[in-house]
Amino acid sequence: MHFITKLLIMKHIFILAVLNSSFYLAHAQGSVNDTTKVKQLEEVVITATRTIRQLSSLPLPVQIISEQEIKNSNSLRLNDILSEQTGLISVPNFIGGEGVQLQGLSSQYTLILIDGLPLIGRSAGTLDLRRVAVGNIKQIEIVKGASSSLYGSEALGGIINIITDKPKNGFNGDINYRLGTFNTNDLSTSINYKKHKLGVHTFFNRYSSDGYDLTENDDLNTVESFSNYTLDTKVTYDFSEATNLFVLGKYFTQNQDYVASSALKGESDINEWNTHLKLNHKYSKKWGSYFEFYATRYKTKDYLNNENGSRYSSNHYNQLLIHPETQVTFNPNDKNSFIGGIGFNHETLDRTDFTTKPEFNSPFIYAQYDGNPTEKLNVILGARFDDNNKYKSQFSPKVALRYELNKKIAIKGSIGYGFKAPDFRQLYFDFTNATAGITVLGYNAVTDAIPQLQAQGEIASIIVPISEFEGSLNPENSVSINFGIDYKLSSNLKFSLNVFRNNINDLIDSRVIAYKTNGQKIFSYYNVNKVYTQGLEINASWKPINQLKFSGGYQLLIAKDKDVESAFKNGKMYARESPSSPSFQLKKDDYFGLYNRSRHMANLKLFYTISKWNLDTNIRGTYRSKYGLFDSNGNDTLDTHDIFVNGYAIFDLAVNKTVYKNYGLGFGIDNLFDFKDTQNISNITGQIIYGKLNIKF
């Protein structure tokens, strides 16, 4: 719907308006028969400007992953396909979620959208990408660089927007089944119907696995066995050429074993639903608007029982987001377009270890101009204002320019502001660890909790006065700069280069604010660190013949904490050769940078089609250079004398064959050479062999 309505609205992109639904169809189906048609058309994206735009003419660094690539790679979950893209990596966090690192920023700084609307439910900042099935994805759009000017909080490093299948003319469907190592079963089916005004699209997925264990000598598995279900239904109704309605309901549920030790066992559950209603109307050739209402709830529950069946612990987490928004589009002529929007975010959270049931209310307003003052110059100016009842209001501007030097070369640059609101945990946590005895208080919880503890005689000394907690915590914020060149040697050979720098301020960290009479510490959050990430990204694709495509990418990354960097420069950093040997002084160049960042990342992919056998085959390799996960020599920072995780490369192979037009058979080996680093990398399981069956009707 997003797609169709935008197509209707954005008349000035003539190619799309003319092709309108036929393009949409070709693109959406993405089956073997359609690929040639699709290739002749320009690829389009919606995420970068919140309007339909040709990918090749954008002044921003944007990558897209096509449905075809997802299908040919036989991906199952979002993390599978994202980690094969240049500059992206799927990183496991300490509680098992897998988030994405983008331009060297960790996963809490990348906004994840489905059809333009945010997913919620992050644990310790990580939105677990394994929650998202890829079977109904039409296209994934990745916009790099701060984009809070359109999307507000969390769009600090960039945005990943998952565009899903929408109803299209006809009645058809498919069934897919994949069985692989670790008894991993994936069954999905989609049914599509559209005739005249009414369209319906339903997608169902069941995904289950026995899990796996990388460390044999304990009672736990690295990933315990689980099963989950996704059900997603969309209904569209076209009242007229100018007015249409879109309704979505989506539900996800997962049940997983939860094992803490041989004696403590239980289960954990996730339940998530999303609803989205969107009404589009086009008033004239120039004016259009939509109204949308989005609501989503993310709930988790877990428990552990003792051996005798009595309850040891239980936790719950229940987050709600309600988001109404209206947007107006104005296209005075072919060269200029304006959008303006206004909306409201209402967010609540009820969870274990919280002082209150906090509530965020955040109205916002944004506007954007996208125009071509001259034939060769494209300008985007945008800004957004987010007000909030719990933290400082944010104004997020952005400017982007693209200039076509000639038919082959274009240069582009953008600068934007991004922010991430303090999360509920950083504001309201009130948690005391039963075994270690450490207390962690959210910034806003301090002024109540400390006097209370004092009254109970539990405070020995206060290190940071309570008065420092009477203000408000600043959102983490950044200024990001991207500068790039697109070089199109021929229609078969393309290069792009992007140089980036993100300057991040007010990163939130925790510090000791008081000591308890039992000798333990009380922590709270504050704005402290300044970090930067910078580097360059190169992407190339080459199609020597129609059946063969090579693509490759490389990212160079330097990610450092500014204070630590100057401590190294000033000779203030020391290390130990072995854990208990005397200290020695480190040199300026010994600073490696932030944890879990690889200086080099690269990928190389080869897609080959053998038409006469109806065979699609590909081999995909990804590489990341060495990185450090923790300090090993006594200075709480990562220096060149620390222990590193060795660099590695992983190769995936997939073969898919179509038989009798409507049947597909697939086979593949992920991680062909069985790479594992059981000590350091919990999300690489070793070799995975699978088979796949696909039926269309």
Rounded least distance, CB 462 to another protein, Å: 7
Spell out, one character per residue from 155 to 194, where the chain touches another protein: x when CB under 8 A holds, - when not. Answer: ----------------------------------------
Q: Phi then psi for 3, rounded to 5 degrees? A: -65, -55
Amino acid code (one letter) for 189:
T
User: For another protein, which stretch binds (CB under 8 A), given 68-76, 367-375, 414-422, 428-436?
Assistant: 428-436
Cβ closest to another protein, residue 634 vs residue 686: 634
Cβ closest to another protein, residue 308 vs residue 570: 570
Q: Which residues, in sequence order, are CB contacts of 448 under 8 Å at separation 6+?
A: 355
Q: How far is CA 652 from CA 143, 514, 539, 582, 604, in A?
A: 25, 51, 20, 46, 11
The count of residues interacting with another protein (CB under 8 A) is 34
Which tokens in the block code for residue 116?
A: 């333009």
CB 81 within 8 A of CB 163: no
Cβ closest to another protein, residue 42 vs residue 213: 213
Rounded least distance, CB 452 to another protein, Å: 18
Rounded least distance, CB 639 to another protein, Å: 10
Residue 455 interacting with another protein (CB under 8 A): no
CB 272 within 8 A of CB 301: no
Residue 463 interacting with another protein (CB under 8 A): yes
Cβ closest to another protein, residue 96 vs residue 647: 96
Which tokens in the block code for residue 169?
A: 């003319």
User: For another protein, which stretch binds (CB under 8 A), given 182-190, 365-373, 515-523, 672-680?
Assistant: 515-523
SS3 label, residue 571:
coil
Residue 434 interacting with another protein (CB under 8 A): yes
Q: Phi then psi for 33, rounded to 5 degrees? A: -65, -30
Residue 519 interacting with another protein (CB under 8 A): yes
Residue 661 interacting with another protein (CB under 8 A): no
Rounded least distance, CB 512 to another protein, Å: 9
Rounded least distance, CB 342 to another protein, Å: 43
**Cα torsion 458, 462, 463, 468: sign:** positive
Among positions 565-624, residues that touch another protein (CB under 8 A) are 572-576, 579-585
Give the C-alpha separation, 146 to 156, whole Å.
4
SS3 label, residue 234:
strand
Nearest to 291 by CA among 280, 302, 276: 280
Rounded least distance, CB 643 to another protein, Å: 13
CB 454 within 8 A of CB 480: no
Cβ closest to another protein, residue 566 vs residue 585: 585
Residue 94 interacting with another protein (CB under 8 A): yes
Residue 546 interacting with another protein (CB under 8 A): no
Please identify which residue in 630, 663, 673, 697 interacts with another protein, judged by CB under 8 A: 630
Residue 462 interacting with another protein (CB under 8 A): yes
- For residue 576, the cross-strand partners are 583
Rounded least distance, CB 215 to another protein, Å: 13
Residue 436 interacting with another protein (CB under 8 A): yes
Residue 524 interacting with another protein (CB under 8 A): no
Cβ closest to another protein, residue 22 vs residue 585: 585
Q: How does strand 439-441 pair with strand 377-386?
A: unpaired
Length of the chain: 697
Q: How many CA atoms lie within 13 A of 629 on its CB side?
A: 12
Rounded least distance, CB 117 to another protein, Å: 35
Give the C-alpha separation, 677 to 671, whole Å.
13
Residue 375 interacting with another protein (CB under 8 A): no
Give the C-alpha separation, 320 to 126, whole Å.
17
Residue 517 interacting with another protein (CB under 8 A): yes
């979950």: which residue's tokens? Answer: 77
Q: Give the binding site for another protein (CB under 8 A).
A: 94, 432-437, 460-463, 515, 517-520, 572-576, 579-585, 630-631, 633-636
